[in-house]
Structure 1
Amino acid sequence: MRLTTLMGVGALCALLATGPLPAGAGEPDEAAVLHRANGAEPSSLDPQLGTGSWESNITGDLFEGLLARDAAGELIPGVAQRWDVSADGLTYTFHLRENARWSDGTPVTAGDFVYAWRRLLSPELGAAYAYLLFPVANARAINHGEQAAETLGVQAVDEHTLTVTLTRPTGYFPELLAHPSTFPVPEQAIRAHGSRWTQPGNMVSNGAFELTEWVSHGHITARRNADFHDAAGVSLQAVTYYPIDDARAALNRFRTGEMDMIDSVPTDRLDWARRSMPRALHVSPMLGTFYFAFNQREGSVLTDRRIREALNLATRRRIITERITRLDQPPAWSLVPDAIDHYDGPRFDFADSPLEERMARARQLMQDAGYSPAHPLKLTIDYITNPETRRIPVALAAMWQPLGVDVTLINSDAAVYYAKLRQGDFQIGMAPWVADYNDASNFLDLFRSGVPNNHSGYHHPAYDRLMAEAGETLDPGKRARLMADAEQRLLDDAALLPLYFYVRAVMVSPRLTGWQENPLDIHPSRWIRFRSGTGQ
């Protein structure tokens, strides 16, 4: 999942007290409106089209999948109150809640999931996350236009029973069912309103909240959904999300009480926050990697592996984490975070080499490629407009200058920036990624040929072959080894510039409870409440 903020400088929140509000805990506080700083302006509130945390934070409140997540980020029953798995691990049978309803009062049925999943895989929709359903029988072929949608391995046995057939046992499959892309979407609203179905007054949703207002670049408001199956367990009356991607502005609004939660803290204000607001500041690790993508499409100078390797060699990761981001993030010498379960991945072979040795090797590679301080290579680095995010490209430019690299910095707002990434209109661009689920494939799939999130345009038949074989093997150990071999291929190709694994710092008002830290950085508003006696 993409992020807008400089995540090493901003934010995974911790619980300030208790836990989630239990069902039946009483009527919601009619005055309780939560104000959340939320990064960038969403490009869409269609859960099947959003790709950023600034979108999933909202769609995760508006919709609910077969499974959901509690305040600690753990899987819990969602629309499905229980499920069975066949002995061979290929067939899942989900039993849906009979009281699951859309916000217009109509039932959420198994047929809604059949419709939604077929829509997600439709080549015409072009959903970036369609590949998450590829474990389902025929999903890949449908997404590639090779088979009809009706052949998808999902069936509504009756209104409250859904069966899903997989092509192979997939241990992390339940994790995918709590991802917004696999949520049900309202066929009735989509048919009635087309692409405008996500607008207030048109949207029908099935989550804890329903959309009431969307002021472009101003705020988005959602009120408690009275038709939600656990409405009695939702304390908040409403949530307002603000597109604030300037960490300094967000902090100022938090200090004045305008914001109850913000998702980043300016680097130069961390010490102040530690001294002045220790109860509000929370710092913790998460499953994510901050890296830069190299444009490796045909015609790009960065198709030359020697240049990519030289830039990696000259990058002083520890300097960046100690002097710029200042949260002691682990330097990243690979793509997949060390904390990913059931995976022991490789590292760059120069990870432990002295700087002098690395710089000598980098200079030689650049000379072999035809560049030096006397004959410099001109490169551009794109980044999202923000004083915080600018500091890393500035540092990279200084580190690469001795190699004969002349860097120009280009900044854009988040919407324009990610459009440029998708179009390949960049040379080097920041590509922060936080896990959607705890599996190495969620990172390694980013570099498979043809995947929409493969912004670099990286293509290597051996890599694709290894990932395909990993996807087909039934042996977990062999699967992990194949993925590690694939990642080694990435590193040998210097296909990316990883900098560090994420640690975030956020601010959460001490008046709140129910927000627990978790490595996926998922914090549904459903579980948040104001402490008794603190007011809104």
Structure 2
Amino acid sequence: MAFKSLSPVLLAGLGAAAFVLAGCQAKVSRPPCPAGEVCLAYGSSQEPGSLDPQTSNLVDEFTIIADLIFGLTTDSPEGTPIPAMATSWETSPDGLTWTFHLRDAKWSDGVPVTADDFVFAYRRILDPKTASIYAYLIYLLKNGQAVNEGTAPLSAVGARALDARTLELTLEHPAPYLPELLKHQSFFPVPKHAVEKWGDGWVKPGRYVSNGPYRLTRWALGDHIEVVKNPHFYDAANVCVDRIHYFPTPDSVMAERRVQRGELDVNTSFQSNRFTRLKETMPDFVRAKNSLATAYLSFNTRDIPAFRDIRVRRALSQSVDREFITGKLMRAGQLPAYGFVPPGTAGYAQGARTVWAGKPLAARQAEARQLLKAAGHGPDNPLSFELKIANSPDTILLASAVQADWAAIGVDARIVQNEGQIAFAAYRNRDFGIGAMSWYADFNDPVTFLGLLKSDTGGQNYGDYKNPTYDALLDAADREPDAVKRADILRRAEQAALNDEALIPIYYVVNRNLVSPKITGWVDNVGNFHRARWLCLKK
């Protein structure tokens, strides 16, 4: 293409336009903050689908819900469990009965929070009509699975109010990690009086009732969610931030610029391959730490017969170049994953790996071609399917690399991008060939990862993996009181799933946040839990 010279008049006009545009770009745009208040602008990767603790399931939803509603325990600044609605508790000698003593607290409408709100919540999440994707976590309570499967009444669940401020939980098996688990949204209470009045519509602004540091005041779909300090919160006097605006920020590069301009104080992600540049241009903003999370791919074994063949699953998994993806594409400290449970998980015995992990990539890809040929796939019958992903920058990079690796062994993977909420709805409905997802630990124990692959887990067992030996090992681990023996049983379970090529682990995730140096109280932690209750802004 040839280039024309520009006249001085046109050049001057363009210069003036650029000056005006630069001025517009430099202007900081953020919601007004009432006089005397401390306001926080908080960016997260995607629009929440729900703020109902018993029907939500994504990390970005949990970030907001955990600022609105408190369970029996909550996160300290370091991400460890501390008392919240429960001030103390006792455990029976056999570890099956836990008695929690609740503080004197109120919902944001002034109605007292009682043990009945917890009992109501646990029955509600287990009720088959609720169709909660997280109901399987409540199977820990006595009769929880039977209630969820409709073979026992709601009243049979092992949760009862001894009085208004005493809650008794009876477990199916000992769970010393219960205080960790109780931080999770699935164990949060819900306001019985509001849900009975409004049904599922109780989560709308004007109806939403919370017992945490904040209450919901506005949800402008696609724009932002606004919460303000809850005056009925039991520790309101020590909450610094008065008002928070949560903005969906799927475009991570634009979010990066908004943080740099002061339009956002926090953003919960940045593009991995910009890590080095950001450390140079915004060194005081970049917060990166190894996480309890694994990025992986899942097979739709329910609807695609080819994925029921272990030879096909192994060929696809072993042909992926994890070192290239982590070292050349991501470049933010991610580690190649040849197992599912990330290093650093409490109670974890290292050692489980895919059976082919030590082989060079070229040998693995040659073997993959032979496996596909043995399974009936080749030039005359190529394996073809849809690789469905959420449209985040890192996932797009990952998908393109995996697509190229599979093309090298004669596989045709067509990438289909969806907005995050739509992609995960498709995964739950099994509307995909292979899906790309990451699992962040709900609590710091190997079971938070390995429990996904139990045959009775439901929707979040995206690959519908089912192995009676695996299930039996997890059941045995649940009943093993010796921590060392339990860790070894869990390692054997993980190895069984890896031997079956139940999923394709890709890399261990690095938490990546951009945090303004004006923010105080932010503590990097492996769970990546940063509750707004602990944050403040320097003036």
TM-score, normalized by the shorter chain, greater than 0.5: yes
Counterpart in 1 of 2:262?
Answer: 257
- The match for 2:73 is 67
Indicate if the aligned counterparts of 1:29 and 1:236 stay in contact, CA closer than 8 A: no
1-side partners of 2:522 and 2:447: how far apart? Answer: 28
Which 5+ residue runs of structure 1 have no aligned equivalent?
Answer: 1-27
| Map 1:56-95 → 2, pairs under 5 A | 56-95=62-101
Deviations 1:22-71 (A, max 9, x none): xxxxxx99421111111211111101111001110010000001111111
8 A contact 2:302–2:464 mirrored in 1: yes
Q: Say whether the 8 Å CA contact 1:381–1:410 is kept in structure 2.
A: yes
User: 1:335-374 alignment to 2 at 5 Å?
Assistant: 335-345=340-350, 346-373=352-379
Equivalent of 1:424 in 418, 430, 446:
430
Q: Distance in 2 between matches of 1:504 and 1:525?
A: 17
Q: Which residue of 2 aligns with 1:106?
A: 111
**For residues 394 and 147 of structure 2, what CA distance do their matches in structure 1 show?**
42
Return closer, same or farther for 1:29/1:365 CA change in 2, 3 Å cut-off: farther
Q: Does 1:329 align with 2:305?
A: no
The equivalent of 2:451 in structure 1 is 445
**Does 2:286 align with 1:290?**
no
Spell out, residue by residue over 1:212-232, the C-alpha distance to the aligned partner (whole angstroms, 9 max, x if none): 000011100000000000000
Tell me, in whole angstroms, the C-alpha distance in 2 between the residues paired with 1:311 and 1:30. Answer: 58
Q: Secondary structure at the match of 1:484?
A: helix
SS at match of 1:292: strand
Deviations along 1:421-464, one digit per CA (max 9) or x if unpaired, are 01111111112101011111111111111322111122222222
What pairs up with 1:23-422 in 2 under 5 angstroms? 30-98=36-104, 100-345=105-350, 346-373=352-379, 375-422=381-428
- Contact 1:264–1:505 (CA under 8 A) maintained in structure 2: yes
Q: Say which SS state the counterpart of residue 458 (structure 1) adopts.
A: coil
Kindly indicate whether residue 502 of structure 2 is the aligned counterpart of residue 495 of structure 1.
Answer: yes
- Specify the SS of the correspondent of 1:515: coil
Partners of 1:404 and 1:146 lie apart in 2 by: 48
Which string of whole-angstrom CA distances, capped at 9 and with x for unpartnered residues, describes residues 358-416 of structure 1? 12211211111122356422122111123332111111111111211112110000121
Alpha-carbon distance in structure 1 between the residues aligned to 2:518 and 2:337:
36
CA contact (8 A) 1:373 1:402 kept: no
**CA–CA distance in structure 2, aligned partners of residues 68 and 389 of structure 1:** 30
SS at match of 2:140: coil
Answer yes or no: is the 8 Å Cα contact 2:395–2:436 preserved in 1: no
Give the percent of matched residue pairs that are identical in Structure 1 and Structure 2: 39
Equivalent residue pairs, number: 504
Taking the aligned partners of 1:494 and 1:520, their CA distance within structure 2 comes to 27
Q: Deviations over 1:269-323 (max 9, x none)?
A: 3222111111111111110000011111144321111111011111110110011
SS of 1:92's partner is: strand
Q: Which amino acid aligns with 1:505?
A: R
CA distance in 2: counterparts of 1:360 and 1:297, whole angstroms: 28
* Partner Cα distance (1:169, 1:268) in 2: 43
The alpha-carbon distance between structure 1 residues 103 and 37, as it changes in their structure 2 partners (threshold 3 A), is same
Q: CA deviation at 1:268?
A: 4.3
Q: What CA distance in whole angstroms lies between the structure 1 residues aligned with 2:431 and 2:134?
A: 21
SS at match of 1:431: strand
Q: Secondary structure at the match of 1:60?
A: helix
User: Aligned equivalents of 2:394 and 2:162: distance in 1?
Assistant: 52
Matched residue type, 2:515? V
Shift of 1:330: 1.6
The yes-or-no answer on 1:480 pairing with 2:487 is yes
Contact 1:297/1:458 (8 A) holds in 2: no
Indicate if the aligned counterparts of 1:73 and 1:522 stay in contact, CA closer than 8 A.
yes
Deviations 1:464-521 (A, max 9, x none): 2222232233333333233222212211111111111111222100001011111111
Deviates more, 1:292-301 or 1:328-337: 292-301
Q: Is this contact kept in 2: 1:329–1:503, CA < 8 A?
A: yes
What runs of 5+ residues in structure 2 fail to find an aligned partner? 1-33
What amino acid does structure 2 have at the position aligned with 1:265?
F
Indicate the larger mover: 496-505 or 51-60: 496-505
- More relative contact order, 1 or 2 (CA 8 Å, 6+ apart): 1
Matched residue type, 1:514: G
Distance apart, 1:169 and its partner CA? 1.5
Name the residue aligned to 2:527: 520
Distance 2:511 2:51 in 1: 25
AA aligned opposite 1:384: A
Q: 8 Å contact 1:90–1:168 — kept in the other structure?
A: yes
Distance 1:207 1:388 in 2: 33
Q: TM-score if structure 1 supplies the norm length?
A: 0.91
Given that 1:37 and 1:242 are in contact with CA atoms closer than 8 Å, whether structure 2 keeps it comes out as yes
Cα offset, 1:175, TM superposition: 1.1
Letter in 2 for 1:191: E
Q: Distance in 1 between matches of 2:93 and 2:273?
A: 55
Question: Partners of 1:353 and 1:268 in 2: how far apart?
Answer: 27
Kindly indicate whether the alpha-carbon contact (under 8 Å) linking 2:304 and 2:433 is maintained by their aligned counterparts in 1.
no
TM-score (normalised: structure 2)? 0.91
What code does the residue aligned with 2:82 have? I
Separation (CA, whole Å) in 2 of partners of 1:523 and 1:318:
30
Q: Assess if the C-alpha contact under 8 Å between 2:273 and 2:330 holds in 1.
A: no
| Contact kept in structure 1, 2:452 and 2:460, CA below 8 Å | yes
Which of 447, 454, 458 is matched with 2:461 structurally?
A: 454
Q: CA deviation at 1:528?
A: 0.5
Q: How far 1:204 sits from its partner (Å)?
A: 0.8
| Larger CA Rg, structure 1 vs 2 | 2
Q: Is the 2:273–2:332 contact (alpha carbons within 8 Å) kept by the matching residues of 1?
A: no
CA distance in structure 2 between the partners assigned to 1:74 and 1:469 by the alignment:
27
CA distance in 2, matches of 1:364, 1:151: 53
Task: Give the aligned residue type for 1:426.
Answer: F
Q: Is the 8 A contact 1:375 1:404 kept in 2?
A: no
Preserved contact between residue 306 and residue 369 of structure 1 (Cα < 8 Å): yes
Cα distance between partner residues in 1 of 2:162 and 2:383: 61
Aligned-pair CA distance for 1:529: 0.2
**Superposed CA offset, 1:224-281 (max 9, x none):** 0000000001001111101112211211211221100011222443222111111111
Relative to structure 2, which stretch is displaced further, 502-511 or 336-345?
336-345
Over aligned residue pairs, what C-alpha RMSD do you find? Answer: 1.6
